[in-house]
Amino acid sequence: RDIGVDAEGVIPEKVSRVGVVGAGLMGSGIAAACARRGLPTTMVDVEEKALGAGLGRIQEVIASRIRIGRATPEDMASALALLSTSTTPANVAGSDVVIEAVVEREEVKRELYQRMKQHLGPNTILASNTSTIAISTLAESAPSPERFVGMHFFNPVDRMALVEVIRGKETSDQTVATIVALAKRIKKTPIVVRDCAGFLVNRVLFPYLSEAVLLWLEGAAMDDVDRCATSFGMPMGPFLLHDVVGLDTAFYASGVMNQAYPDRSVKLDVLADLVKAGHLGQKTGRGFRKHE
Ligand code: NAD
């Protein structure tokens, strides 16, 4: 049977428990999305401090929904009751799906997958939230390439419906179908895409972001560029978006895109300079712009 890229018609596996590795901006958002939809979720990070901050962000997201009448204090209590945190990767054992959301560095992800091999059961699906690194490349280090897939959420996770599901060379139909069903269960809108560096969204987004920076380097004001982008319908302009994403993440992701598409992607030294100076965007109070 010819299934097609989206594995439509394949029966998904049951997902009763989710593990999330990396409790940063994205990992905490993904863990919140799962727990808010009734899934027992374990969030793991190497840093105790990151777990505390991640939990704080989750509480803040739900609290802000309560303030606008879109959630109740009971929703907060039930989501938090389903969430557990740990600095021990072994604690994701028993999850049907483990979503990796650690830094955008290939060697860190590969090393993590090698270490996770001993903790993941033969039926566990490992999904990466990588923004840019080709899934078939990362699959070389995954415990099982057939059960390895991209599950790319967007920031902020509680507001962005889209999830790219990336099918690597060896990803099975069953894995794709299960991740599509999981995305729908947590009220996201999955699209299944083929594998390449940057997938679909970031191949389109990166040229836009780097052209904006080039405009600024050529003398345009950041405010003008951001205002212009919002006036033609973007929820925020490219400089603010850089700062929301995190300049460290943008820098690592740009490196992947520069390597994959050397003929048509721009290497921006200014990103490296800002990261070196510790200006990582909203998370440090300063990136391209200053933040309160
Ligand atoms: P972040 O820096 O906010 O968080 C990364 C977390 O991973 C940190 O808390 C760090 O302590 C933890 N970590 C690092 N190595 C680890 C390991 N070996 N085991 C467990 N935890 C580890 O980064 P982020 O913005 O959340 O990005 C995470 C992933 O999501 C990256 O692959 C990134 O490309 C992708 N992503 C980011 C965005 C965005 O807008 N920031 C959007 C979509 C996808």
Segment 132-146 mean pLDDT: 98
Which residue's alpha carbon is nearest to atom 17 within ligand 1?
A: 46
Burial class (CB in 10 A: 0-12, 13-18, 19+), 22: buried
Nearest Cα residue to atom 29 of ligand 1: 101
pLDDT in tens, 208-254: 999 999 999 999 999 999 999 999 999 999 999 999 999 999 999 99
Q: Is the distance from the beta carbon of residue 155 to the nearest atom of ligand 1 less than 6 Å?
A: yes
Tell me: ipTM over 0.85.
Answer: yes
Instruction: Report pLDDT for 5.
Output: 75
Ligand 1 center to 101 CA (angstroms): 5
Q: What is the pLDDT of residue 3?
A: 66
Domain-terminating residue out of 194, 222, 246: 194
Number of helical H runs and strand E runs in the chain: 11, 8
Instruction: Report DSSP state, residue 13.
Output: P
Residue 143 scores a pLDDT above 50: yes
47 touches ligand 1 (CB under 6 Å): yes
Q: Residue 93 is part of a domain; what is its CATH number? A: 3.40.50.720
CB under 8 Å to 118, separation ≥6 — which residues? none
Confidence of residue 169 (pLDDT cuts 50, 70, 90): very high
Residues designated as active site? 152
CATH number of the domain enclosing 245:
1.10.1040.10
pLDDT attached to residue 2: 56
Whether residues 185 and 53 fall in one domain: yes
State percent of the chain over pLDDT 90: 96
Domain count, the chain: 2
Structure confidence at residue 203 (pLDDT): 97
Same domain, 155 and 209: no
Q: Residue 1 has what pLDDT?
A: 47
The answer to whether residues 87 and 48 touch, using CB atoms and an 8 Å cutoff, is yes
The answer to whether the CB of 18 is under 6 A from ligand 1 is: no
Stretch 4-11: mean pLDDT = 84
User: Where a domain ends, among 165, 194, 223?
Assistant: 194
Q: Which residue has the tokens 């939990």?
A: 55
Please compute the mean of the pLDDT values over residues 34-56 and round it to a whole number.
Answer: 97
**Beta-carbon neighbour count of residue 178 at 10 Å?**
25
> What average pLDDT does the segment 49-62 reach?
97
Under DSSP, is residue 201 helix (H, G, I), strand (E, B) or coil? helix
Residue 4 pLDDT exceeds 80: no
| Position 53 pLDDT exceeds 90 | yes
Whether 271 and 251 have beta carbons less than 8 Å apart is answered as yes
Q: Is the omega angle on the peptide bond into residue 143 within 30 degrees of 0, that is, cis? A: no
pLDDT, average across residues 82-106: 96
Does residue 4 fall inside a structural domain? no
CA-nearest of 152, 173, 164 to 245 is 152
Contacts of 140 (CB under 8 A, 6+ apart): 110
Res. 292 pLDDT band, cuts 50 70 90 = confident
